[in-house]
């Protein structure tokens, strides 16, 4: 077979390290949900996924789609695998599929955050187990007080629990990316999503090194904020990464 040339524009870095592939399979939540895989690529992860669950895959690259259709002809015939040859963001109007699913994928990094945020607010999506750039994984999994604790960590903690499963060096891929990667898991316990809460978070972290008061007062009235801070016993000098998810929800209730 001709060697496939990876297309940069689709973020193609194929995962070759069998140990990492095994760790992803071992970390999969134990339930009856279907699997959604975004970007099956050459099918290196897909071949393990179809062994344990039925899989709905979305692949934008038509060359790879043809290759996958040949490689997995048996699984497609038995309906263990269905491949949608399209851009997942076009397919994703409200829900990606009509039943409960877990997202398991080595994501294309150029749209990874967008995909994860969509999956977090999709009520049909129950768990998210994905490989992304290490810095992105750390933002989703950060705890209050850490420098990278920000709106992504708070949105995630408002919906479930997140943890890093394994850090992955560039050598695990072909071609090798220039950055480090990590697999992380978000186990969702609710579907709460509120656009106004998210826009308050955007204001709160507008300039992460400035105080929370300074950031919020570019959007909300300062005298009202001062009253709210006093009632919640928050110091005016507090920085955005020092306030817990619980405190952000208390703040939001009052601002609302």
Query: Is residue 160 a contact point for ligand SAM (CB under 6 A)?
Result: no
| Contact mark string toward ligand SAM, 6..25, x via CB under 6 A | ----xxxxxx----------
Minimum CB distance to ligand SAM, residue 19 (Å): 14
Number of residues binding to ligand SAM, judged by CB under 6 A: 24
Residue 49's contacts (CB-CB under 8 Å, 6 or more residues apart) are: 25, 35, 37, 55, 104
Q: Which of 33, 35, 40, 125 binds ligand SAM (CB under 6 A)?
A: 40
Residue nearest to ligand SAM (CB): 39
Query: Is residue 108 a contact point for ligand SAM (CB under 6 A)?
Result: yes
Give me the DSSP letters along 127-146: EEEEEEEHHHHHHHH--TTS
User: Which one, 61 or 138, has the nearer CB to ligand SAM?
Assistant: 61
Q: Please report, for residues 208, 210, 227, the alpha-carbon distance to residue 203 in angstroms, rounded to integers and kept in the order given.
A: 10, 11, 18
User: Which one, 48 or 252, has the nearer CB to ligand SAM?
Assistant: 48
Minimum CB distance to ligand SAM, residue 61 (Å): 4
Query: Is residue 60 a contact point for ligand SAM (CB under 6 A)?
Result: yes
How many Cα atoms sit within 13 Å of 96 on the Cβ side?
A: 30
Q: Which of 20, 34, 35, 39 binds ligand SAM (CB under 6 A)?
A: 39
Query: Is residue 156 a contact point for ligand SAM (CB under 6 A)?
Result: no
Which listed range, 58-66, 137-145, 208-216, 219-227, lies at the site for ligand SAM (CB under 6 A)? 58-66
Residue 10's contacts (CB-CB under 8 Å, 6 or more residues apart) are: 39, 60, 61, 108
Minimum CB distance to ligand SAM, residue 237 (Å): 42
Q: Which of 50, 59, 116, 138 binds ligand SAM (CB under 6 A)?
A: 59
DSSP alpha helix (H) spans, 72-110: 73-77, 88-91
Residue 195, classified by CB atoms within 10 Å of its CB into exposed (0-12), middle (13-18) or buried (19+), is exposed
**Ramachandran quadrant class, 15 (left: phi over 0; alpha: psi -120 to 50; beta: rest):** beta
User: Which one, 37 or 138, has the nearer CB to ligand SAM?
Assistant: 37
What is the C-alpha to C-alpha distance for residues 161 and 136, in angstroms, rounded to an integer? 16
Q: Which of 28, 72, 106, 239 binds ligand SAM (CB under 6 A)?
A: 106
User: Residue numbers of the site for ligand SAM (CB under 6 A)?
Assistant: 10-15, 38-42, 44-45, 58-61, 64, 87-89, 106, 108, 111
């Amino acid at each position: 077979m001709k060697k496939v040339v990876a297309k940069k524009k689709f973020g193609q870095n194929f995962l070759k390290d069998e140990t990492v592939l095994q760790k992803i399979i071992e970390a999969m939540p134990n339930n009856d949900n279907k699997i959604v895989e975004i970007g099956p690529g050459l099918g290196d992860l897909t071949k393990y996924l179809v062994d344990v669950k039925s899989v709905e895959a979305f692949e934008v690259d038509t060359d790879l789609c043809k290759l996958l259709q040949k490689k997995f002809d048996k699984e497609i015939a038995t309906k263990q695998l269905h491949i949608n040859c399209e851009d997942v963001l076009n397919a994703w109007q409200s829900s990606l599929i009509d039943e409960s699913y877990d997202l398991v994928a080595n994501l294309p990094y150029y749209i990874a955050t967008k995909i994860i945020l969509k999956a977090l607010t999709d009520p049909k999506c129950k768990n998210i187990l994905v490989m992304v750039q290490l810095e992105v994984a750390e933002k989703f999994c950060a705890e209050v007080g850490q420098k990278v604790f920000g709106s992504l960590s708070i949105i995630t903690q408002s919906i479930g629990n997140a943890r890093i499963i394994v850090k992955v060096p560039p050598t695990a891929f072909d071609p090798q990316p220039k950055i480090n990667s990590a697999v992380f898991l978000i186990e969702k316990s609710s579907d709460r999503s509120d656009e106004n809460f998210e826009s308050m978070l955007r204001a709160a972290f507008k300039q992460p090194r400035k105080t929370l008061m300074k950031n919020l007062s570019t959007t909300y009235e300062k005298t009202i904020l001062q009253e709210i801070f006093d009632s919640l016993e928050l110091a005016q000098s507090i920085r955005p990464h020092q306030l817990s998810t619980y405190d952000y929800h208390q703040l939001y209730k009052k601002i609302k």
